[in-house]
Amino acid sequence: MLPEKLRELGPACYDCHLQDPLELTFKKDHLEKGLEMIGKKDPSRQELRILACAQCHITYSVPKDKDNQVAGDVTMPWRNGQWGDISIEGIIDVLLTDEFRLEWVQEITGFKMPFIRHPEFELFSRGSVHFKAGVACADCHMPFTRSGSYKISDHDVTSPLKADLRACAQCHTQSKEWLTDQIFHTQDRTTSLILRAGYGTATCARLFETLHQAQAKGAAVDNAVYSKAKDFYMQAFLRIVFINAENSVGFHNAAEAGRVLGDAVAFAGKSESLLRQLLAGVGMDPGLEVALDLGETLNNRGEAKLNFRPEQEFTDPFGIQDKLLSEHAKGL
């Protein structure tokens, strides 16, 4: 039925199709429950071309009990959302309210953390230009293609860049160069902000580590200031994870990605200033630049002893990050 080279797709046919006729559908229980949370009923055919992908390309929690054992079915943090409006603010609120969503412990800070996983659907559907224009995931990732005399959907689901941007040409008359530039410009801007938010958040993590060490030796800190600093840290951290775990590097919704990362930078800055205030209160001065010692976390990882590889580092396309943080402070 499908040409041989298109039969390599990871998901099974029946993840997305009814058996007979091969109509588009979605099968996952968790998505049904998620759609109930956001008040979505009777999706149109074009919406099914989004929801077939949203079976997997969404964030979810794996509920954990007190001993960190799996304790229930996967569930989405969508209860504050609506179709077309699942915000990061709403997601974070749910993640930090439901204790069972804290799935792992961050080594440096010792904080219990929730996960955010590949939220392509959430970012894309929150008012992106394409979502508003009624464009579906399949329009860009499964463009129509010819097989003999048949017109079929390309089942080699991949980056439109790898597919020669044929998908875009279904609607856009601009040149391939122009379209490629649009994608890369958006991704460059997003990358620059990811670095700003990431290094800002990492700085706070190191300051928490230092503060916790002082507390372990008996230093007393103001609880109200501490919990504000922690809340701002979590707000920054979860925003950066949201955009980093989303796989389009901003393209699916450039304006929203910029907004979320800008807020992450603001929360991290606020957290850092509160942490410096707390450290000053116990007679400690972290100095002009906080040593991140990234080598400590990036080198010698796991059984394979993986190391940082400079050729894989994403540097700031605009050079701003280099002005804010020295190589010495990075500690690579």
Provide the mask over 247-286, with x wherever binding to ligand HEC is found by CB under 6 A and - wherever it is not: xxx-xx----------------------------------
Alpha-carbon distance of 105 to 296, in angstroms, equals: 18
Work out whether 216 is an interface residue with ligand HEC (CB under 6 A).
no
Helix (H, G, I), strand (E, B) or coil at 61: strand
Contact region for ligand HEC (CB under 6 A) — 15-23, 95-103, 215-223, 308-316? Answer: 15-23
Residue 253 per-residue DSSP state: G
What Cα–Cα distance (Å) separates residue 40 from each residue in 5, 31, 110, 219?
A: 36, 11, 38, 52
Work out whether 33 is an interface residue with ligand HEC (CB under 6 A).
no
> What's the sign of the alpha-carbon dihedral 151, 154, 159, 163?
negative
Question: Which helix (H) or strand (E) element contains residue 104?
Answer: strand 104-105
Amino acid at 312: Q
Work out whether 68 is an interface residue with ligand HEC (CB under 6 A).
no
Would you say 215 or 244 has its CB closer to ligand HEC? 244
Provide the mask over 170-209, with x wherever binding to ligand HEC is found by CB under 6 A and - wherever it is not: xxx------x--xx--------------------------
Contact region for ligand HEC (CB under 6 A) — 43-51, 79-87, 96-104, 232-240? Answer: 43-51
Where do runs of H (alpha helix) occur along the chain? 13-16, 29-37, 45-54, 88-97, 120-125, 129-132, 137-141, 166-169, 176-216, 223-245, 254-281, 294-298, 320-324, 327-330
Q: How far is the CB of 25 from ligand HEC (least distance, A)?
A: 10
Give bridge partners of residue 85 from the DSSP assignment. Answer: 82
Provide the mask over 118-147, with x wherever binding to ligand HEC is found by CB under 6 A and - wherever it is not: --xx--x----xx--x-x-xxxxxx-----
Work out whether 40 is an interface residue with ligand HEC (CB under 6 A).
no
CB distance 122 to 80 below 8 Å: no
Chain residues that interact with ligand HEC, rule: CB under 6 A: 1-2, 7, 9-11, 13, 15-17, 22, 24, 45, 49-50, 52-53, 55-57, 120-121, 124, 129-130, 133, 135, 137-142, 152-153, 155, 157-161, 165, 167-168, 170-172, 179, 182-183, 247-249, 251-252
